[in-house]
Structure 1
């Protein structure tokens, strides 16, 4: 397994131009995301079938050649479990690889579980046992060790024969078009603009609060989100979610009470003045401007019975198609179609996953008929 380390823009341009002459390239990234809001890109692996390159984005000033490769629609980009990689590409370069296919998705269309790992697929399909001991390494540290480099290179070196084997099987099974649809769906979900003003709706447990407390939580959550983006810090490293709920629920207006109620003392010390100011302003919100109570789908009458009926329908589709139930329709996807009917009156501009693409005929139309 020979590979080269790319640290210069000129080298990158040569490698990427060569890669644009083949039908498909293998891609992977190594990144770190422990305390930061955005993933920190540490390494990019690129294999065009002949040349395996480990691209160091920390050393290269101009990544234009790589961005042009990502955007080149004549070259298929092959990844495995691509969700976070797509986020890395979008945050780092403002684009996604187009077109793209994910071998984890391809494997799911062959009856594998939706979250089957790369090492498990390589061993099952190629008979090679990969060393995954470097998966938790610090990819921002330099220099990278020989073991780290070998590990990173193996992820794209074995991706090529795995992709070729899965492609033949997926095409034979008649699922190739569906696999491409599914990968496009995954990619579309990775480009999402967050409305900072509605960040409170993403906080677990917010549904337990009454409108008066939600009026406090809303500006607090907006502040925390904007602060996280500004400082590139994970949300809970700005202010813990549970602490935010505590402050909102009790309407806390002094630092001593924050600490009495178990709020992280370091966060209280750093942010108490800002939070107290936000709480005081929120308490002056007129009652008619309070946010509405957050109504959970599962609390609506008839939800449990309906969900069971839909799950039974998914099981039937699983038995007939050979696809895993969680791949056909996860709990989140089933809730999405229920919400689409109950809350959005079947809005054709906001179709849920099961009402589009390959799922529609296989499952979606049947599910839709059950929801009144």
Structure 2
């Protein structure tokens, strides 16, 4: 018997993890230019934590959160994709201005959808979209990394940090990555990180013990509290890319560039969209994972009715890698 309803997570207003409520909603009906996706997996992102905490701009409630989803096409009225085709969707207002991926079905603009083909588990595939897009964009568009260079990743056990390390190692880059938790060091070593630094707030000093002139590039994923120290870890004419805010702080108060930026160090930023992850890059990465040449940093999975626990784990930084829900 066919049903027109689905399970979804609804956030009526900002609040604690328990504010994320499992509800039954009608399955969305896609208009031309939209794609209805049967969600097989979705990853958790700090962006959704910001939404739940009331820190995100432009969000209206009630809302089904989720800035990404992975699954198969259920319907595409204008024919952009074929029913059953494997796809990933992300960004473009998902989970903020319209209902997102925390559901069994999600309806998104066709421009936010990237097709792929893979026999990898849905849990693994669900960890990929936003992490790969952010890591790839940060390394290419913002940092313009080159083989043989050195890269510091501040916030190394985040899913983006671990994915950036995997991509950087595949390019022949020497990777330094930080974690505040010594128990997570093994996870970083396991994906090929060359130097694991325990982050006590003063990482620049230890970076310069290894590379006296500083590293070529740095990826800042913790946010404003660690940014000055990260800048001090980079060589003259090196680049720091600000792409994340695990600290939930992303605005530098009373920013005075001459006093804030070490002489000659360049500060860039990256915030991307589905259009910034080329389909060929996604497919090549998935093929590399399938061949054992790359790894997806999947920490653990949850059922849809475990969303409150998943958010609590994300908020408490209990993971080394991505948290994924299988609806």
Give the TM-score band, short-chain normalised.
under 0.3
Structure richer in helix, relative to its length: 1
Structure richer in strand, relative to its length: 2
**Which TM-score applies when normalising by structure 1?**
0.25
- Computing the radius of gyration from Cα coordinates, the structure with the larger value is 1
**Which TM-score applies when normalising by structure 2?**
0.27
